Structure 1
């Protein structure tokens, strides 16, 4: 893939979602677990950015609201502790109400976002992930994402904006 097909116009959220799934798989998680964890990582990042831009308020004090059941365990991915729900097929990221997140919905979201470019983008990310020890990858993976993510305006104008994801930047991210 060279020339125009070496970049994809895409929003940052699916880029982070796919990258987190690739990292989770490199850590040994099955694809369904990886997709659900990836969605939780991207959601956490999006909520933090929305608060930073003033598009959302910080979570209110729990006060009198009932608390969802505490998850029995968490898995660490890209610097975030993700609550998980145990299922017969393995652990999945837990929704706020404790139910397991649906990996099928995450897979469909990523497929829609990248379209025909998904295999090439995934291959570039897998190549990058494969060059690092899994533990180091999990520790430095978010910084790697920041090195190759699409450029968008840093203010509210960049919220949800598409930018160019350059596959050569993914391939070179680990230096």
Structure 2
């Protein structure tokens, strides 16, 4: 009989330990649940912040609707001013305008919008051009520009442009924004002007307004984004 009492007496402590272990495990689970919930909440917040921060900047800004020619004209002027700070802004605009015209002519001929040059007229211009020998020639974006004062000698004639034309096409406020964006981004190339000159036209091709290819896009307007200018020009 004593052995039986001993076994019955030993049972309660075992049962108590099991209940205690179960209660402890339950408490641990309860304590763990809020932590998991907090982790999920923090993770969700981080994901939302990442989505906002990585959202394309050009979707958050209001694009400027404009065709390509004035954009290239302004870009050429800004590049000329950066590469040749001793030149007047009027001279830089004349250079930008000439670059835009040369590019438009080449594009127009490639898609059949502009006729090929007359050989006789070309020969005549070359004869007239002999009188321009000795004038300074500078290169901007790979284009050689013969300068006569602030004017560019273009096809044997002095070519001048006015900033007022850019104001009319951009709008005064937008012109200021684009010019400032280009100028600030160009500053990142200080000390590496030679490489900038080689890359400047390719930069333009990256940020220029997107229009349909070929004749469908001739003279059409597209969206110009300041963020694309910044991304294409600023040196990494």
Alignment TM class, shorter chain as reference = 0.7 to 0.9
1:108 to 164, 173, 176: 164
Matched, 1:161 2:220: yes
Q: Which residue of 2 aligns with 1:128?
A: 185
8 and 97 in structure 1: CA distance in 2 versus 1, 3 angstrom threshold = same
Matched, 1:39 2:102: no
- Residue 62 of structure 1 aligns to a residue whose secondary structure is helix
Rounded Cα–Cα distance in structure 1 between residues aligned with 2:118 and 2:184 = 41
Alpha-carbon distance, 1:171 to partner: 0.6
Q: Which residue of 2 aligns with 1:83?
A: 146
The answer to whether the 8 A contact 2:61-2:225 is kept is no
Rounded Cα–Cα distance in structure 1 between residues aligned with 2:69 and 2:152 = 17
- Residue 118 of structure 1 aligns to a residue whose secondary structure is helix
Unpaired segments of 5 or more residues in structure 2? 1-56
Rounded Cα–Cα distance in structure 2 between residues aligned with 1:65 and 1:52 = 22
Rounded Cα–Cα distance in structure 1 between residues aligned with 2:195 and 2:122 = 41
Structure with the greater alpha carbon radius of gyration:
2
Unpaired segments of 5 or more residues in structure 1? none
Alpha-carbon distance, 1:26 to partner: 0.3
- Residue 74 of structure 2 aligns to a residue whose secondary structure is helix
Rounded Cα–Cα distance in structure 2 between residues aligned with 1:63 and 1:38 = 25
- Name segments (4+ residues, structure 1) moved above 4 Å: 1-5
Alpha-carbon distance, 1:65 to partner: 5.7
Rounded Cα–Cα distance in structure 2 between residues aligned with 1:48 and 1:161 = 17
Alpha-carbon distance, 1:2 to partner: 8.2
Alpha-carbon distance, 1:11 to partner: 0.5
The answer to whether the 8 A contact 1:6-1:168 is kept is no
Q: Which structure shows the bigger proportion of residues in strand conformation?
A: 1
Rounded Cα–Cα distance in structure 2 between residues aligned with 1:14 and 1:83 = 21
The answer to whether the 8 A contact 1:40-1:93 is kept is yes
- CA deviations on 1:78-132 (whole Å, 9 max, x unpaired) are 11112222x3xxx421132332x2233xx11111111021111111111221111
Alpha-carbon distance, 1:3 to partner: 6.4
TM-score by length of 1: 0.86
2:203 to 144, 151, 160: 144
Q: Which structure shows the bigger proportion of residues in helix conformation?
A: 2
TM-score by length of 2: 0.65
Aligned length in residues: 168
